[in-house]
Structure formats: C-alpha cells, structure tokens
A and B are shown apart, each in its own frame.
Chain A
Amino acid sequence: MGWLRWMRRWIGWRGSLIPSPSPGGGREPEPLSPRERGGGEGAARALAITLATFMSAPVQAADTLYLYNWNNYISDATVTRFEAECGCQVVRDYYSDNEEMLAKLAAGASGYDLVVPTGYAVEALLRSKQLRPIDTARLGNFRNLKPEFLGAFFDPGNRYSVPYAYTITLLGYNSRKLEELGLPTDTWALIFEPKYLEKLKGRVTVLDSQRELIGAAMKYLGYSVNDSDERKWKQARDLILRAKPYWAAFNASSYIKELTLGNIWVAHGYSNDMFQANADAVKARRGFNIAASIPKEGAVLALDSMVLHKTGRHPELALRFINFMLRGENSAELTNLIGSGNPNRAATSHIRPDIAADPAIFPDRAALGRLEMLRDLDRRSRRVLNRVWTEIKLR
C-alpha cells in the first residue's frame, strides 16, 4: 500500500507547511525516535530542505548531494555529520515502495545522485541501464562489509551496488499471549495450520503483498520463493485459502499499531516494523513485548543497496557519502534507530547490545543460509501469479 504511505506523507507535509522553515539550512537535529518508514515528519523536513535548496540553489548547487531513500532510512544525526564533514548539503527525497521509486525514475525524474533500492529493483535499474558503475577500490571502508552480503544475484561483482542495510520478512508476535496459548513461534505453521490458528482466530494479519505472502507459503511447503511453477503456486494458494478464514486482514501498514494495541497477536511483516512495534509497546507500558522470529523453514531477505543513478551530477560526492556510510559508527546509527539488519562488520561494536543479540535482526549463519532474496518475475509469470493472487483475495 505504497500509495497510503504516500498519502499519509502528504498529509504530514500539508500539516507542517505553516511553521515556515528557515531558509539556508540551520536546522536542529530532532530527538531521534523509532518511527516506521512511512513517517510524516521526514517529508516535511524534505520539503523544508528542498525549499531551502531552491532558494540558495545558485550558490550551493555544486556541493549538494541528492539522496533518494526510503522513508526514515537514515538517522538525521548521520546526515548532519556528513554535511559538516564535507562542507556540503544533503537534499533528501523519499519513497515508501520500490515500485513507487521505479515508476518515478521511469517517468523521467532525474538528478538523484544516490538511490537505495532493494535487490530486485537494483536489477531492474541495472538492466534498464540507469546505473553508474562504482569503483569499489576507491572506497576505503568497503572492506568493512560482511562477505555474505556481497556478490548478491543482482550484481555479482558489486560493480554497481554497495550494501546498505537489510530487513527480513518474518513473524512478529505478542510474546505474553503466545506463551499463554503455548504455541510455537519458530515456524510458518503458526499462520498456515488450522490446528494453531484455531486459538488465534481473528488475531492474525498477513502482508498484503503477492510475492511476500505466497513466498512465505512456498517456504512452508519447502520450495524456493523464486520458484515460478504454477502447480506449486496453486499448492501455496490452497494452503493460504485453508488458513484465510482465521486471519483478520491482509495488511501492509497498520499491523504495527494493531500489535502494539494488543488487537493482533501474530503478524507476518518486516523485522524493522516488529522492532518498532516492540519499542512502542514498551514505551506505552503495555505489559507485553512484541517479539520476532525467523521461521525455521526460511524467509525472505530484502537487501537494500546504495547505487549511483546515471542522471546524478555529483558522483564524486556520492562516492564520498558511500564511504562515509560504510564507517561502522555511521552504519550502526541506522540500526539503533529503526532496528534494520546491518551488513557492516565494523558497525557491530557500535550497535546497542540488545539489538546486536537479537537473532531476528542478526540471524546466525545457519538461519542466514535459509533466507532468500526475491527476484523479479518475467511478465508472463507475473500475470499467472496475479490470477492466483486475485483468487486468494476473492475466495
């Protein structure tokens, strides 16, 4: 539901137009709070910064970095520090969905130096020849990256992309409720098997995403998430249809709130969202925690990478930014803020110990081996899957 987040951002943007931003930059770093990627304030800031930039564009155009990133996917403190270090300005623009970003770039948006897409979107940008090669030999901190996150399918030699952060699609749950009910939490069976779901009727939400939900079902059935065999998809469909009467909703944005309120006990969603739901539940003294676990059958890994867009006019500055972000303390700041996975070895010592020890954010080698990244499907398979999905939604 990218459009929803977009609309929410838009509302936030309208709401904050009245207190006019001071042109020229001098902005105070806000106190950091864990927010979901779709936060509204970020956009208001982006607008403020954009306005400020337009006003002073002739002077500062040469040393301005245009960053096109996920909502709430970088700490403000990190940006401020980079600006101080390079004597430049960072202009941020946001997206809440890979599709939204691809569509905007396809429609001719230009001038972004740096974009942070997920794997299959990197592949799409690469294959449509929109990326500039990155000379990793010039990045002193490139060696900080963990080797298991290098050479991913979309860019085997890391000639165009540098890993930034990752999230895992997993199960988040109300730890007190699940303990009371005595249900297992380390398997997809929790959301697919009626024998468990009977105790959870109306208390489960799943992602409103074809690839993610069918991917989870495929994993539970023992297949690859990228298998495009229609027979296997139909098996996944039948599995989902059997479980569907027990689910409350297909949900892409409000499960964080519903988990925090205690309305929903199990949610299929992203690891950083579960991190936020837990932080909110703790802050509101709900008396329970939102825990997350990677099902033992395996799950989807989304690795976001920094790439240079061809239309960007400041590739040198962008390289400098990449190298800056690869420094342990800078990379760790994001993980401490939103609970994203971190592919950077040097970051580990700067990450809050409770996050660093969380196996749902930093899975061990065996669990990591069971994670898979989504690949783009060709258009015929997309249509077959589309029909399977529509059937799932309708029945």
Chain B
Amino acid sequence: MRGTLFETDKFPPPPLCKRGEKGTRWAITAPPTLFLLAFFLAPALIVVLASFQYPGEFGGLAPLLDAGDGREHGLTLENYQFFFSDFLFTEILLRSFLVAAASTLICLLLAYPVAWLIAKSPRQHRDFLVLLVILPFASNFLIRVYAWMIILGPQAALARLLNGVLGAFGLEPVSLLFSPFAVLVGMVYVHLPFMILPLYTNLEKHDPVLLDAAQDLGANAWQRFWRVTWPLSLPGVFSGSALVFIPVLGMFAIPDILGGTRDMLIGNLIKDQFLGVRDWPFGATLSIVLTLCVLSLAGLAAWAGRRRRGEQ
C-alpha cells in the first residue's frame, strides 16, 4: 500500500528556500489562505459560538451581552443538554451514518467496474467516456432528482412491472417512491460520478507491466486483481469514498423529495432548525456534533492507515 487520502507525510518537507523565493511563496499562498480564513474558519467559529447561545425570541440568536431588557443573553450548555436529553437525536445521527455507509458501498461496487473499463479502453476514447460520466452535472441536481420521482412513481413502467410480478405471486403491491429505497437510489445516483472519477484517475495510472509480471509468476485473474490492482487502487477508493460519504451524510434534499414518512436524516433535522422552527442554536449544535463525528472518523481512518503501514 502506497498511501491513503489521509496521508500527508508522503512528501518530504520542501528544502529551506532563499529569501526572494519566500516572498513569492507568500504572495501566492496568501490569497487562498485569507479566503479560507475569512469564508471557512470564521463561519465555522461562528457556528461553534452559536451552538452555545440562546435562541432569539423571533428566531436568530439571543444577544451575547445584556441588552438591559431582561431577556436571555450570554452562553449556555442548554443546546448540548437538549441533544443528549433524548436518544432520539443520536438515533437520527446513527441512521444517517448507516445510510451514508450503504450509499458509499453501493457507489463503490457500481463505480469500480465502470472506472476500470474506462481506464482500460483505448486512449482516444477515454476523454469522451469521462465526459459522459460528468454529463449529468450539466443539468441541475434537483431536476434530476425530480426525474426520479417520475421514474419511481406508481404509474411508471418500473412500478407497474414490479407490482405485476408481485401480484402474480399473490403479494401486496409495493410503493417505490416515498421509501428508503427511493432515498438510497437518489443518493447513489447523484454521487456516483464522485466515486467514478477518483477511481478512474487512479486506475489509469497503473502500470500494465505489473499485471504481466503477476501473470508470469502464475497468478490467475482473481489473484491479479486482489493482490495487485485492488491494493494499488486503495487511494482512489478512499478519496472516492470520502467524496460520497460526507456529502450523503449532510444531504437533505433527496430525503425531502423521495423519502417517505420515516426517512428523516440528520441533514433534514438541521435544515428544519434553521428554515422551519427558528432554533438556530440547536441547528448549530447538531452541525457541530455531526462535524465532530466526521472528523473523528477521518482521524480514526488516518490512524489505522498509519498503523498498517507501520506494520508492513
């Protein structure tokens, strides 16, 4: 195994540079650094702060300082207490992780053969095939999800065929739309390109000589894949998985449109706090808990990766 997404110590630190170069480097890195500070770090800190504030009477946040009118102000742990006061919220979080993990796994199973085929196709066709993969991005993602409403709808061919078959066996008709199945289909459909592309860029770089060597040494097709291609493609698998897992975790539009009466995920809950029930501090708290979970998961993966490499 050569490296993972979380491996940052792969590159040696750049050698100490000369005075002039240092200035140039600053000039180049300052704008993106400032951008990240202003538009990523500062808002993130505001969210952290908001999660410790009281909600305002008409929405928004209660002031930090006493306005002198006897209203609530300052900081509180109330929002976190509310989160842990009921297993309900944790349950939604766990369910969201489950849906994200399932979506990632299905994406991986579907994307790997596609990426492999593209990487193995003649060079002059590859760009076109990659273009086909990213073509869906040309239309708005909500429109594509709405299209699934029609495809999965009870009057569409798919549902009729399925229910016809079920009916022949004397089973109850099922509804495809407004179900966990529909949510999973939507999640996988929308995020599939994010899995294909990193896998493809990885698989494309594999040296075919390695497979020839494996064959010469007596490895069959399965062994060649499992012992050579798969380990080499792990960096692509990891980055693809991260690109699918994390967005799915926060996704609220797909459950809203395709989900049924039990398909609330953490993204929906957070969105409701801001757009539905005017409880910004609790929404911030949920976001922080979610972020901490994702970060600790990433940390765990990095730690495991490092340990494995250490053992090798």
**How many angstroms from the CA of A99 to the CA of B276 in the assembled complex?**
7
In the bound assembly, the distance between CA atoms of A44 and B262 in angstroms comes to 36
State which residues 272-298 of B face A: CB under 8 Å.
272-273, 275-279, 282
Supposing A248-B260, A382-B279, A393-B264 touch, asked if A387 and B88 sit within 8 A by C-beta, the answer is yes
A4 — which chain B residues lie within 8 A by C-beta? 142, 253, 256-257
CB B272 to nearest CB in A, in angstroms, measures 8
Say yes or no: A124-B58 contact (C-beta < 8 A), given A97-B275, A99-B278, A387-B86: yes
Q: A248-B260, A263-B153, A394-B262 are in contact. Are A106 and B59 (CB under 8 A)?
A: yes
- With beta carbons under 8 angstroms apart, the residue of B142, B154, B155, B259 that contacts A7 is B142
B29 contacts chain A at the CB level, 8 A cutoff: no
Q: Which of these, A100, A106, A378, A390, contacts B264 with CB under 8 Å? A: A390
Within 8 A of B (CB), among A368-395: 376, 378-379, 382-383, 385-387, 389-391, 393-395
| A247 interface neighbour in B56, B59, B261, B279, Cβ under 8 Å | B261
Q: Would you call A56 an interface residue if the criterion is a C-beta within 8 Å of the partner chain's C-beta atoms?
A: no
Interface size band for B: 35 or more
Q: How far is the CB of A244 from chain B (nearest CB, A)?
A: 5
B143-160 residues with Cβ-Cβ distance < 8 A to A are 143, 149, 153-155
- Apart from A106-B60, A386-B273, A390-B89: 5 A-B pairs, beta carbons within 8 A: A4-B256, A102-B58, A249-B178, A376-B58, A395-B262
Q: For B55, give the chain A residue with the smallest CB separation.
A: A379
Min CB–CB distance A169 → chain B (angstroms): 16
Expressed in whole angstroms, the Cα–Cα distance for A97 and B257 within the complex equals 18
In the complex, chain B residues whose CB is within 8 Å of the CB of A378: 57
The answer on a CB contact under 8 Å between B260 and A8 is no
Bound-state CA distance A249–B255 (Å) is 11
A103 contacts B by Cβ under 8 Å: yes
Chain B residues engaging chain A, CB cutoff 8 angstroms: 54-60, 82, 86, 88-89, 91-92, 95, 140, 142-143, 149, 153-155, 175, 177-178, 253, 256-257, 259-262, 264, 268-269, 271-273, 275-279, 282
Confirm or deny: A60 has a beta carbon within 8 angstroms of a beta carbon on chain B: no
State the Cβ distance, A197 to closest chain B Cβ, in Å: 12
Q: Are B58 and A261 in contact (CB under 8 A)?
A: no
Contact of B140 among A1, A11, A245, A382 (CB under 8 A): A11
Check A82 for interface membership: any CB of B closer than 8 A.
Answer: no
Q: Is the CB of B261 within 8 A of A244?
A: yes
| Contact of B175 with A202 in the complex, beta carbons under 8 Å | yes
Please, how many angstroms separate the alpha-carbon atoms of A203 and B282 in the complex? 34
* Top-6 shortest CB links A-B: A393-B264, A249-B178, A124-B58, A248-B178, A379-B55, A202-B175
* Bound Cα distance from A378 to B155, whole angstroms: 44
Which residues of B are found within 8 Å of A142, using beta-carbon distances? none
Asked if A11 and B142 make an inter-chain contact with CB atoms under 8 angstroms apart, the answer reads yes
Which A226-257 residues have a C-beta within 8 angstroms of B?
A: 244-245, 247-250, 254
The interface residues of chain A lying within 8 Å CB-to-CB of B175 are 202, 248
| A contact residues around B268 at 8 Å (CB) | 393
Q: In the bound complex, do residue B58 and residue A393 qualify as a contact, i.e. CB atoms below 8 Å apart?
A: no
CB contact list, A78-116 vs B, under 8 A:
97, 99-100, 102-103, 106
From known contacts A103-B59, A248-B175, A263-B155, infer whether A386 and B279 are also in contact, taking CB-CB under 8 Å. Answer: yes
B269 to chain A, nearest CB (A): 7
Q: Tell me the A101-155 residues at the B interface (CB within 8 Å).
A: 102-103, 106, 124, 127-128
Complexed CA–CA distance, A372 and B152 (Å): 38
Complex contacts, B92 vs chain A, CB 8 Å: 390, 394
Q: Which residues of B contact A245 (CB under 8 A)?
A: 261
**A22 contacts partner chain B, Cβ-Cβ < 8 Å:** no
* B275 engages A3 (CB within 8 Å): yes
Q: How far apart are the CA atoms of A368 and B121 in the complex, in Å?
A: 70
Q: Would B88 and A394 count as touching, CB distance under 8 A?
A: yes
B275 CB contact (under 8 Å) in A100, A382, A386: A100
Which residue of chain B is the closest to A258 with respect to CB atoms? B153
List the A side residues contacting B89 at CB < 8 Å: 390
Min C-beta distance of A269 to chain B, whole Å: 16
Whether A390 contacts B88 in the complex (CB less than 8 A), given A103-B59, A379-B57, comes out as yes
How far is the CB of B83 from the nearest CB of chain A, in Å?
A: 11
- CB of B262 within 8 A of CB of A382, answer no
Does A210 touch B at the CB level, under 8 Å?
Answer: yes
Q: Does A209 contact B (CB under 8 A)?
A: yes
Known: A100-B275, A390-B92, A393-B264. A106 touches B153 (CB 8 A): no
Q: In whole Å, how far is A249's beta carbon from the nearest beta carbon of chain B?
A: 4
Whether A102 lies near B261 (C-beta < 8 A) is no
Are B58 and A1 within 8 A (Cβ)?
no
Contact call B264/A394, Cβ cutoff below 8 A: yes
Supposing A99-B59, A261-B155, A387-B86 touch, asked if A249 and B275 sit within 8 A by C-beta, the answer is: no
Cβ contact within 8 Å between B256 and A128: no
A390 and B153 CA atoms in complex are apart in Å by 27
Closest to B268 in A: A393
Within 8 Å of chain B (Cβ to Cβ): is A315?
no
Report if A391-B88 is in contact (Cβ < 8 Å); known contacts: A99-B59, A261-B155.
yes
Give the residue name and chain of the A residue nearest to B178 (CB).
A249
**Cβ-based interface call for A2 (8 A):** yes
Residues on the A chain within 8 Å of B279, using CB? 379, 382-383, 386
A-B contact pairs, 21 of them (CB 8 A): A97-B275, A99-B59, A99-B275, A99-B276, A102-B58, A208-B256, A209-B276, A210-B276, A244-B261, A245-B261, A263-B153, A376-B58, A379-B57, A383-B279, A387-B88, A389-B277, A390-B89, A394-B91, A394-B95, A394-B262, A395-B262
| A382 and B260 within 8 A (CB) | no
What separation, in Å, do the CA atoms of A262 and B95 have in the docked complex?
32
Contact of A263 with B275 in the complex, beta carbons under 8 Å = no
A210→B277 contact, CB < 8 A: yes
Q: Is the CB of B269 within 8 A of A390?
A: yes
* Interface of chain A residues 2 through 37 with chain B (CB within 8 A): 2-4, 7-8, 11
List residues of chain B with CB within 8 A of the CB of A244: 261-262
A379 and B59 CA atoms in complex are apart in Å by 9
- Report which residue of B56, B91, B95, B178 has the largest number of chain A beta carbons within 10 angstroms of its beta carbon: B178
- Report the minimal beta-carbon distance from A288 to chain B, rounded to whole angstroms: 14
> Chain B: which residue is nearest A250 at the CB level?
B261
Partner of B149, one of A1, A208, A254, A395: A254
